[in-house]
Homo-oligomer: A and B are copies of this chain.
Amino acid sequence: MPVLLFRIPRSAFRVESPVFDFTVDATSGCARSGTLTLPHGTVETPVFMPVGTQGSVRTLSPNDLRASGATLVLANTYHLHVRPGEQVVEKLGALHRFMGWDRPLLTDSGGFQVFSLEGSRRLDEDGVEFQSHVDGSRRTLTPERATEIQWTLGADIAMAFDHVVPGGADEPTARDALERTLRWLERCRKRHAELSHGRMGGQTLWPILQGGAHLDLRTEGVRRILDLGAWTGLAIGGLSVGEPKAVMYDMLERLEPKLPALPRYLMGVGFPEDLVAAVERGVDLFDCVAPTRNGRNGSAFTADGPVNIRNAEHREDPRPLDDACDCETCTTFSRGYLRHLFMAEELLGLRLLSLHNVRYLIRLAEALRAAIRRNTLGPWAAEWRRRYLHTGSA
């Protein structure tokens, strides 16, 4: 009987000599392929981060994530703060040990979540008061609290607490959010330095650029963020929040020349076509719930575009979901079986499509890296779009 799968030693979750480093190894146009070194390991970019909102990438185990080639996973500060609470996570050995994930982790600051809680939040200069979606209790997140919670969780990368506005926000609204985000960034930076006692701890803090769809605000934001300190990465927030995709692509394209050489993380993005477009525009890191959420709805990314496995056409189809894929789902099961699992409401179906979709985006990032290193990203992307989007152009 095969028995002992693995038992991760507790020491695997601790880091003695933390290192933060980023090198760009190759470029193709504006696109970059790099190596991001973090306390819990090395991340090759471009990279897609699966999202473990509540400390679990929905339906998937750490073994599944490792088999999918995931090197960096995201978890949400807001969700872990309201349940089970960061003190519980700390008592259970901090976030890496809690989740059973020994590779790098990034925590979002909770800014995006509390600004998504329409009607049940109150904003002032100090921070945001909101109502927990779990038990209705009143809670407050401030730049300092968000930084402290993330310090307690202990991810490799913590995010600054930011003020997010909808995609179509006008200039004064976007300006207001940018200014507040910059003031909050200074408070986050100060608190993070106190917590790490001025030494390079096991965690780094990344700023988030806001400014809506206003290039001048974004450009000014980049400059003022860089004036605030020496950073190890930069996140682009407030995109993919309701604006048309063309607006996001245009903003990235025009912003790219203003960005420093730091790792660039486009938050909450995205779908396969968004990854390709954003990598072409110089982005390095991505996260999105789409692979697991769509997977649970029966929708799968494939080389030939999205497939809904519930469709009757798959009933007796012996082919794999995606014949270009090497994941456990595609190497083991037919479309007919996967459709059966969804029709019969078997939980295994949710898991198998989530696993495939996560592997799909990680493989896509791997392919983008390879194309950048060969300096053939343009033709590679054209061919990819021809097959995925059934079109000859971008």
Report A's interface with B, CB cutoff 8 A: 1-8, 54-56, 58-63, 66-67, 69, 79, 83-84, 88, 91-93, 97-100, 315-316, 318, 326-328, 331-334, 336-337, 339-341, 343-344, 346-352, 362, 366
Contacts and interface: CB of A to CB of B under 8 A. Distances in A.
30 contacts: A2-B69, A3-B67, A3-B326, A5-B67, A5-B326, A5-B328, A6-B331, A6-B332, A8-B331, A54-B340, A55-B340, A58-B346, A59-B348, A59-B351, A60-B348, A61-B351, A83-B340, A83-B343, A84-B315, A84-B344, A88-B315, A88-B316, A91-B316, A91-B336, A92-B318, A92-B336, A93-B334, A97-B334, A98-B336, A347-B350
A277 B95 CA distance: 43
A347 to B, nearest CB: 5
Contacts of A88: 315-316, 336, 340
Nearest to A350: B347
B4 A331 contact: yes
Contacts of A316: 88, 91-92
Contacts of A8: 331-332
Contacts of A362: 1
A346 B55 CA distance: 9
A347 B59 contact: yes
Contacts of A343: 83-84
A54 B344 contact: yes
Given A6-B328, A91-B316, A92-B318, 17 more contacts: A4-B326, A4-B331, A5-B328, A5-B331, A56-B341, A56-B344, A58-B347, A61-B332, A61-B352, A79-B344, A83-B344, A84-B336, A84-B339, A88-B340, A92-B334, A93-B318, A98-B340
